[in-house]
């Protein structure tokens, strides 16, 4: 070997050795996937842990929870089973850790309806972005549509332990377990931890900020199902009105009322585009439709005075001494979810939404056979009060004292579609204002907590919404936490049926978006304004 070749060999060896040494230092203290130990979770006993390297994991699309396939994921899959002291529960926690390309962050993921989480369906999208992430079933059945499998014990009493898991406890357990496992696997703690969820997942995120302020540095809470014990009962209100007034309206006519409300208030933001941007300025009167004809499947229907009165009562929301603000849908929100009807034996009857129907049956009446269609005005008020009295402290998720979260340096982005047809945006606004009152002033609040109301967007932006949906609020909260870039607006986008992309900026509450001038598909053509017409 020549001297020059020998020198090159020595240099090559030195480079390889250097790289190996760097890798060894980087992974010092880390644990192979198959050897991870049970984490310590205060108040719980970890029954089992199973961890396995999956070098080519795939998760198939399952709309609406997961709209795309994810393939080729190289992960360490960790399955924990735990039980809480004194409770006969069995809680599953799944943690996915990227084998390569970890971004140094941990992310907690949430659920929907009566499910606390969806495991692979929630984890795949964020693990693909480099997050170590976790999901939990809270010891429940995993069925988002019904709590039938877990709500009542063998004696017919509400299972308070599982309700507590669903309400708050399992969110904290998952955070503790997920961060401990990530630390052991990578040999270092995640430098930041985040939460991202919508609906039930949004409620879980705010619960973490309220009760466990050091669990997450940043929280994204979409359409948060806070004030659960009251708002869920309030979802029954449209069915109560139709029952008491003896008028059940077809989906076709309900849609006509929704479209009419949009037409009446569409232009208030300076642009006619099928979207109500400032619901506060909208003064829609359902009686304006009386006598008009609606082209429904198979026949023409004429809007009656009775139907208009029912819609007016529904939009006004329930009233009562214990009802502090409107639990009502905004103009522009679809009415045919909470006010849904169907035909039974040739007669139109009410069809309650599954969340409120199940809550009243299992948690209020403790009777799965109870018929919620029998609830009238007086019974509704009693059920509303009972729900708050019995469950407000357990699952209300409405504590406005976020001072601990603020002190811990946490940042929260809350967003809610103004055309949400299931969860009332007024609740999110009311909570924002209560937090502001506790914190002291709006500028201090804006330093760590901001609310964004998305015009024309339905529940979690999951349907054929006419409004622009937030593009990536998780990225926004990461930039806020790690770079100090506070979000004055959320970037939002809508793809129209013809493929046209409409970009909008969602303004931080209390500002609303108004058209200024220029191309209506560009965000730069709009301005955030405090003006209400």
Residues in the chain: 533
pLDDT category at 464 given cuts 50, 70, 90 is confident
Q: At what angle do helices 200-211 and 170-186 cross, to 10 degrees?
A: 80
Contact 67, 41 (CB under 8 A): no
What pLDDT is attached to residue 27?
46
CB atoms within 10 A of CB 428: 28
- 498-507 pLDDT, tens per residue? 889 999 999 9
Of 256, 239, 334, 333, give the one whose Cα is nearest residue 301. 256
Of 108, 260, 98, 299, give the one whose Cα is nearest residue 192. 108
How far apart are alpha carbons 308 and 366 in whole angstroms? 35
How far apart are alpha carbons 312 and 533 in whole angstroms? 22
From 84, 416, 432, 459, active-site residue: 459
Cβ neighbourhood burial of 72 (10 Å; 0-12, 13-18, 19+): exposed
What pLDDT is attached to residue 29?
63
Could you tell me which residues are beta bridge partners of residue 50? 79
Q: Is 153 left (phi over 0), alpha (psi -120 to 50) or beta?
A: beta
Could you tell me which residues are beta bridge partners of residue 451? 414
pLDDT of 12 over the 60 cut:
no
Contact 329, 279 (CB under 8 A): no
CB atoms within 10 A of CB 400: 17
Contact 503, 523 (CB under 8 A): yes
Contact 210, 197 (CB under 8 A): no
- 79-96 pLDDT, tens per residue? 999 999 999 999 999 999
Q: Is 471 left (phi over 0), alpha (psi -120 to 50) or beta?
A: alpha
Lookup: tokens for 195: 């939460």
Q: Alpha helix locations (H) across 198-236?
A: 200-211, 228-234
Task: Tell whether omega for the bond before 399 is within 30 degrees of 0, i.e. cis.
Answer: no
pTM above 0.75, yes or no: yes
Residue 334 contacts by C-beta under 8 Å, 6 or more apart in sequence?
254, 255, 258, 419, 421, 458, 463
**459 noted as active-site residue:** yes
Structural element, H or E, at residue 182: helix 170-186
Q: Residue 234 in 3-state DSSP? A: helix
- 261-316 pLDDT, tens per residue? 999 999 988 889 999 988 888 999 999 999 999 999 989 999 999 999 999 999 99
Percentage above 90 pLDDT, the chain: 86
Cβ neighbourhood burial of 154 (10 Å; 0-12, 13-18, 19+): exposed
Between 7-11, 227-231, 401-405, 491-495, the lowest mean confidence (pLDDT) is in 7-11
Average pLDDT (437-463) is 95
How far apart are alpha carbons 166 and 362 in whole angstroms? 15
From 199, 261, 397, 455, active-site residue: 199
**420 noted as active-site residue:** yes
How far apart are alpha carbons 456 and 266 in whole angstroms? 10
From 137, 420, 430, 458, active-site residue: 420
């Amino acid at each position: 070997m020549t001297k020059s070749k020998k020198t090159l060999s020595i240099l090559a060896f030195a480079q390889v050795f250097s790289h190996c040494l760097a890798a060894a230092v980087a992974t010092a203290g880390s644990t192979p996937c198959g050897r991870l130990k049970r984490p310590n979770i205060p108040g719980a006993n970890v029954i089992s842990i199973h961890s396995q390297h999956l070098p080519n994991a795939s998760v198939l699309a399952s709309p609406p929870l997961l709209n795309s396939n994810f393939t080729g994921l190289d992960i360490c899959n960790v399955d924990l089973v735990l039980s809480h002291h004194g409770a006969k529960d069995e809680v599953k926690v799944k943690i996915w850790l990227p084998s390569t390309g970890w971004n140094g962050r941990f992310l907690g993921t949430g659920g929907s309806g009566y499910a606390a989480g969806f495991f692979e369906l929630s984890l795949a999208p964020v693990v693909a972005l480099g997050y170590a992430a976790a999901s939990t079933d809270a010891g429940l059945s995993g069925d988002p549509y019904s709590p039938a499998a877990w709500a009542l014990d063998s004696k017919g009493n509400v299972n308070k332990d599982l309700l507590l898991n669903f309400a708050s406890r399992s969110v904290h357990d998952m955070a503790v377990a997920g961060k401990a496992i990530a630390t052991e696997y990578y040999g270092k703690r995640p430098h930041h931890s985040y939460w991202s969820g919508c609906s039930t997942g949004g409620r879980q995120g705010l619960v973490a900020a309220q009760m466990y302020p050091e669990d997450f540095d940043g929280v994204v809470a979409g359409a948060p199902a806070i004030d659960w014990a009251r708002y869920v009962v309030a979802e029954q209100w449209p069915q109560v009105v139709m029952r008491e007034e003896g008028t059940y309206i077809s989906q076709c006519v309900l849609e006509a009322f929704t479209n009419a409300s949009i037409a009446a208030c569409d232009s208030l933001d300076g642009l006619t585009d099928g979207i109500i941007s400032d619901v506060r300025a909208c003064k829609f009167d359902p009686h304006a439709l009386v006598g008009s004809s609606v082209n429904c499947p198979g026949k023409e229907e004429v809007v009656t005075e009775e139907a208009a009165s029912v819609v007016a009562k529904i939009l006004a929301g329930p009233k009562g001494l214990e009802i502090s603000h409107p639990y009502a849908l905004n103009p522009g929100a679809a009415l045919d979810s909470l006010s849904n009807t169907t035909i039974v034996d040739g007669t139109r009857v009410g069809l309650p939404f599954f969340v409120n129907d199940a809550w009243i049956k299992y948690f209020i009446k403790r009777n799965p056979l109870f018929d919620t269609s029998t609830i009238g005005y007086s019974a509704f008020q009693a059920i509303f009060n009972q729900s708050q009295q019995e469950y407000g402290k357990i699952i209300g998720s409405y504590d406005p004292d976020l001072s601990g979260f603020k002190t811990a340096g946490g940042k929260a982005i809350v967003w809610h579609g103004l055309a949400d047809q299931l969860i009332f945006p007024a609740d999110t606004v009311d909570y924002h204002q209560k937090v502001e009152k506790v914190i002291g002033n709006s500028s201090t609040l804006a330093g760590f907590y901001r609310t964004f109301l998305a015009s024309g967007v339905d529940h979690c932006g999951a349907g054929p919404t006419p409004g622009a949906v937030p593009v990536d609020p998780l990225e926004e909260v990461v930039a806020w936490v790690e770079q100090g870039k506070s979000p004055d607006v959320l970037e939002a986008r809508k793809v129209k049926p013809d493929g046209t992309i409409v970009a909008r900026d969602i303004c931080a509450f209390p500002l609303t978006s108004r058209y200024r001038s220029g191309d209506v598909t560009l965000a730069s053509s709009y301005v955030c304004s405090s003006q209400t017409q």
